[in-house]
Homo-oligomer: A and B are copies of this chain.
Amino acid sequence: MILIQQASLYSGNSALTIKLRTPVIIVNFKAYTESTGKRAVELAKKAEKASKETGVNVVVAPQFSDLSRVAEAVDIPVFAQHIDPIGPGAFTGQVQVDAVKAAGVVGTLINHSERQLKLADIDAIVRLTQAKELVSCVCTNNPAVSAAVAYLHPDIISIEPPELIGTGVAVSKAQPEAVTNTIQLVRKVNDHAVILCGAGISHGEDVSVALKLGTQGVLVASGIVKAKDPYTVLREFADSTKLT
């Protein structure tokens, strides 16, 4: 069952909304060899195939220098893995929002545990994405931090216990209470943010359990990127979103 959710952007006097179909599977390409350069495009096409066949919303988040080629090659949403809290100007070696937007991205991860940010910068980046009509996905490490982030009104909050990232031990099965506590705390102050969980998601069952716990999708990386057959695993993930 595919839900359509209006993730209304928090933007003062504006009525701006972004349609973010849920359930959603975001595939963080990280900096793996398997998801770099041409292989980023190939992987994105597999994600597109799984998405089109199942109707499930699959988002890909390649490295900065792969963004434009991936965005040109596929029709599914492309996210950046990070942006800096800056507009255009005299900045060197930074990730500027207009540049990634020009490359075709429609959203960005923010504060991933491998790219943690100062609180004031998370706030600034979320507001920057709102001004630029990009989808914001803030990663958090525990329920209290998730609740804190809820007040900054990102479109998506993804809880990822750092100790489980890359382990193959799924958050939805190993720490279900981290997920349910996150949902409970976030919903007290924010009824529109899409809530995801990530870390260790490796099997279709990890995905269906995540949705049963109340999330609207998952954030995955090595479980797909490092899989022998990423398409098959992703297809399994997508199918599993329909079992809840």
- Chain A residues at the B interface, C-beta cutoff of 8 Å: 28, 30-33, 36-38, 63-69, 80-82, 86, 88-96, 98-100, 102-103, 105, 109, 111-123, 140-142, 144-145, 147-153, 165-166, 185, 188-189, 221-222
What are the 10 A-B residue pairs with the smallest beta carbon separation, nearest first?
A: A37-B102, A82-B93, A93-B115, A64-B64, A31-B96, A65-B103, A92-B114, A148-B148, A147-B151, A92-B112
A11 and B70 CA atoms in complex are apart in Å by 35
Asked if A36 and B102 sit within 8 Å, CB to CB, the answer is yes
With A117-B119, A148-B123 in contact, is A98–B33 under 8 Å at CB?
Answer: yes
Q: Which residue of B lies closest to A189 (CB)?
A: B189
A64 and B92 CA atoms in complex are apart in Å by 10
Asked if A66 and B102 sit within 8 Å, CB to CB, the answer is yes
Copies of this chain per assembly:
4
A142 and B126 CA atoms in complex are apart in Å by 14
Residues of B within 8 A of A123 (CB): 141-142, 144-145, 148
For this complex, 14 residue pairs linking A to B, each with C-beta atoms less than 8 Å apart, are: A33-B98, A36-B98, A38-B102, A64-B99, A65-B68, A65-B95, A80-B93, A82-B92, A92-B113, A93-B109, A119-B122, A120-B141, A120-B145, A123-B148
A4 and B244 CA atoms in complex are apart in Å by 52
Asked if B185 and A151 sit within 8 Å, CB to CB, the answer is yes
